Amino acid sequence: MRKFGVIGVGHVGVTVAYTLVTKGIADELVLIDKNEKLAVAEQLDLQDCQARLDTTTKIKVQDYSELKDADVLFVTAGNIHALDNNSGNRWVEFEYTREIVKDIAPKIAKSGFNGVLVDTMNPCDAIAQYLQKEAGFTSEQCLATGTFLDTARMQRVVAEQFGTNSKNVGGYVLGEHGESQFVAWSTVTVNNHPLKEYAKAKGKELDLNDLEDEIRHGGWAIHSGKGYTSFGIGTCAVKLAQSVISDAQLECPVSTYNKKYDTYLGQPAVVGKGGVQYVNELHLTDEEEAKFKNSANTIKEKFATMYERA
């Protein structure tokens, strides 16, 4: 039986829940939110749609004890309005999300949950590490979506330059899910050809700095238009969960612990049964390695400051 939990049924949480139910991924689903009325409403709405689906999901609400035998737990709670006057700075959310972690971590631990936790809360690198410590998980069990979404944005932006499908673009955005992230251009391919070689063959000049700015600020373009992001991040979270329950050995950039820099940050890893099975080390250029180190230090410094104030 495939069982999932979702803590926080706001825009992202309900997108995850809707996807799990309508795609027939979940046999059982547990919804938890500080607003019980909202959790019950989403439960009823999802139950209503099942008469028109080919699959059935048993949906329960507001019961942490039900997480004991869950395979994957999504933590999607947060305060999106913290960003309203702070465009570009996900760290302002830490004031709110760390308090959420303080509240839910003991409850998750008490429930006996021993599956894989997927965090989408911002700043996701710091929160994943904070949650891992507070709830007593291993670093393999607790991961965040990290730069999985940023890499998808890179794929879209690069694909648009060549009129191809984003699935035909490979490579990584690495580091913080935030301002210090960077595109590792040496890893980027189009139709399995190195980006620069492909662009030259097509007679196309690319301004990589402009493209990187567009990628980095893609989330804010969405946020400024609709007030939040949901579909992209929700899809990334579900993709990771599917990799766990099917032991898919999916290689993708997620936020997980980096031993060299002693922090969580976005890096390629293999995700399967039990969570992160191993980190896939890359051969970066000297410039890219310097950016990777800078991003790691940025996360560590901000996390240390915020953690001391917690």
pLDDT at 80 over 80: no
* Catalytic residue IDs: 177
pLDDT at 86 over 60: no
Looking at residue 88, what is its pLDDT? 55
107 and 172, same domain (yes or no)? no
| Host domain of residue 39 | 3-144
125 and 184, same domain (yes or no)? no
Task: Tell me which of 144, 169, 188 is where a domain ends.
Answer: 144
> Is position 274 annotated in a ligand binding site?
no
User: Which pTM was predicted?
Assistant: 0.95
Looking at residue 33, what is its pLDDT? 97
Q: What is the dihedral of CA 97, 102, 103, 107, to 10 degrees?
A: 120
> Is position 11 annotated in a ligand binding site?
yes
> Is position 9 annotated in a ligand binding site?
yes
Please give the average per-residue pLDDT across 273-287, as a whole number: 97
Q: What is the dihedral of CA 135, 140, 236, 112, to 10 degrees?
A: -40
Who wins on pLDDT, 85 or 109?
Answer: 109
- Give whole-number Cα distances, 116 to 74, 86, 150, 260, 269, in Å: 9, 32, 22, 23, 15
Q: What is the CATH number of the domain that holds 90?
A: 3.40.50.720
pLDDT tens-digit readout, 18-63 = 999 999 999 999 999 999 999 999 999 999 999 999 999 999 999 9
Q: What is the dihedral of CA 89, 186, 158, 15, to 10 degrees?
A: -50
pLDDT tens-digit readout, 256-267 = 999 999 999 999
> Is position 272 annotated in a ligand binding site?
no
Looking at residue 173, what is its pLDDT? 98
137 and 152, same domain (yes or no)? no
296 and 155, same domain (yes or no)? yes
124 and 261, same domain (yes or no)? no
> Is position 10 annotated in a ligand binding site?
yes
Looking at residue 199, what is its pLDDT? 97
Asked whether the beta carbons of 181 and 149 are under 8 A apart, the reply is: no
Please give the average per-residue pLDDT across 163-171, as a whole number: 98
pLDDT tens-digit readout, 185-234 = 999 999 999 999 999 999 999 999 999 999 998 888 898 899 889 999 99
